[in-house]
Amino acid sequence: MDAWTLKRGLLPPVTGPVVVVVMDGVGLGPEDAGNAFFQARTPVLDGLLAQSCVPLAAHGRAVGLPSDDDMGNSEVGHNALGAGRVFSQGASLVEAALQSGELVRGETWRWLIEGARAAGQPLHLLGLLSDGNVHAHERHLWALLEAAAEARLPQVRVHILLDGRDVEEHSALTYVERLEARLAALRGPERDYRIASGGGRMWITMDRYEADWAMVERGWDLHVRGEGRRFPSAGAAIETLRAELPGVSDQYLPGFVIADDDGPVGPIRPGASVCLFNFRGDRAVEICRAFEDEVFTAFDRGPRPDVRFAGMMQYDGDLKLPQRFLVTPPAIDRSLNEYLVRQGVAQFACSETQKFGHVTYFWNGNRSGRLDERLEVWEEIPSDLVSFDERPWMKAAEITDATLRALATGRFRHARINYANGDMVGHTGDLRAAILAVETVDLVLGRLLKGIAALGGVALVTADHGNCDEMYQRQKGGALDLTRPRTSHTLNAVPLSLFDPAGQVPAVLAAGAGRPGLANVAATVLDLLGFSAPEGYEASLLRPR
């Protein structure tokens, strides 16, 4: 028996497929007027949760983040679901590198500094300006600025992506003011440190899964070419754009260029050094490709930029994007997917574009490709290119159709799918749309479960983090503030329910000792397939009747 062979489990395997359904962004929040999940009409989920429900931790240390004050996200959530164990994630790794000083002591940082100095060009720092700690943290940017000053680098330009998604939706000026104060403190006769461009993260630069390359192109025009609407400062840009677009969240604010009497203050010229300081990978890959791909056809980039480019981390280990990075990403091995492939278990993965990478790349331990083309079938449903509050149903019906077709072939023993509605619509801050999003998931879930039952299968229904369960901010006393929509993730637990219509599983879901989290799901899947979890996996949550 080799190291990859799984032992038979204590439970008999179910006769049909074992399906994991991830209801993205659906947590177990306070049952009040701000909870779209609670407000929605969900007869299918109500019945399912009444039969079995174990709350799972989906944030903080349970998914490898620095502290339990850190919100979970889809990336770390799907890593935990697919890995069966908890790995230190980007935020934790960068924080550790920051505390130890390794963040700016490595060869890549020296390479960036030396290149900018030799060319007489600025160091450009590009990333999300926020303390949401989901894609980036302003503290990491501050550390890079201070390190550049200590290295006596004459010029630094910062290209800011406004959040309004992982933090309050109209909080950008707070972060800009803090950054401007830092820059002012660092400026001097020999140091010219300024903001050069910016815009909302859902309007420029931070597209993912090739859903809307036009976002990246808009960012490219601003950051690299210095082409865009000009303002004397980032604060002036934000205030003007808000006045012109009342109520628009920071994440959707149009892009802007900072200019003085001589023109744009910070286009990225040949010879410059560029560092993308986001640590999360999904919304970093495309801008990396624009800088690094030798052959690039997504938009008219022009000649490949002659710059030194690096990321806070390597965002895609298979594609080696970027080639240089400041912090080594987590090395996730022995994923559930890899074990099943080595047992010859055929698997199906499906979602729409917005979450397709989560049921493939992140579920696979940050691996882009299939391990076995014969055993793994992945189906992507193209997402609509509209604001998700305009289409709260998204592609839930199409995902259900595709999954039922795949399962009906009898080929797949295991499937994993993601309904993106609760997360993507929750991020819009529109409570009514979020309620419709949850009701859509409930509607299609009923059809999916009926199909699974007909095939003698079972399903584990869960989520990767909370979001639509808290759609309004809270006042200091805890009361809802109905004037302030909340667009970020939550710290709430998520449900895990077992759908076993034929009663063929001689076990029940139970939390057991300690606080179960998303990493316990992998061993639970193995139990249902008739295998024992490998050494080091978090325990299955099935307990014999």
Annotated catalytic sites, by residue? 74
- Report how far apart, in Å, the C-alpha atoms of 402 and of each of 35, 360, 378 are: 30, 16, 10
Token couple for 192: 């010219």
Residue 460 · residue 498 · CB < 8 Å: yes
Neighbours of 400 (CB within 10 A): 23
- Where does 359-447 show beta strands of DSSP type E? 376-381, 414-419
Range 4-8 contact pairs with CB under 8 angstroms and sequence separation of 24 or more: 4/338, 4/339, 4/342, 5/342, 5/343, 6/339, 6/343, 6/526, 6/531, 6/532, 6/534, 7/531, 7/532, 8/530, 8/531, 8/532
- Report how far apart, in Å, the C-alpha atoms of 537 and of each of 86, 94, 111, 402, 422 are: 9, 25, 39, 31, 29
| Residue that has been written with the tokens 């940050």 in this structure | 366
Neighbours of 450 (CB within 10 A): 12
**β-sheet bridge partners, residue 414:** 18, 347
Exposure string of 58-88, with b = 16+ CB inside 10 Å and e = fewer, is bbbbbbbbbeeebbbbbbbbbbbbbbbbbbe
Q: What whole-number distance in Å separates Cα of residue 540 and Cα of residue 228?
A: 54
Residue 363 · residue 337 · CB < 8 Å: yes
Residue 340 · residue 107 · CB < 8 Å: no
- Where does 302-359 show beta strands of DSSP type E? 308-313, 325-327, 347-352
Bond before 322 cis per omega within 30 degrees = yes
Alpha helices per DSSP H over 293-395: 336-342, 353-357
Which helix (H) or strand (E) element contains residue 524? helix 520-529
CB-count burial class (<10 Å; 0-12, 13-18, 19+) for 223: buried
Token couple for 13: 């395997």
- Report how far apart, in Å, the C-alpha atoms of 257 and of each of 206, 218, 359, 464 are: 17, 12, 37, 37
Residue 271 · residue 307 · CB < 8 Å: yes
Q: What whole-number distance in Å separates Cα of residue 397 and Cα of residue 399?
A: 5
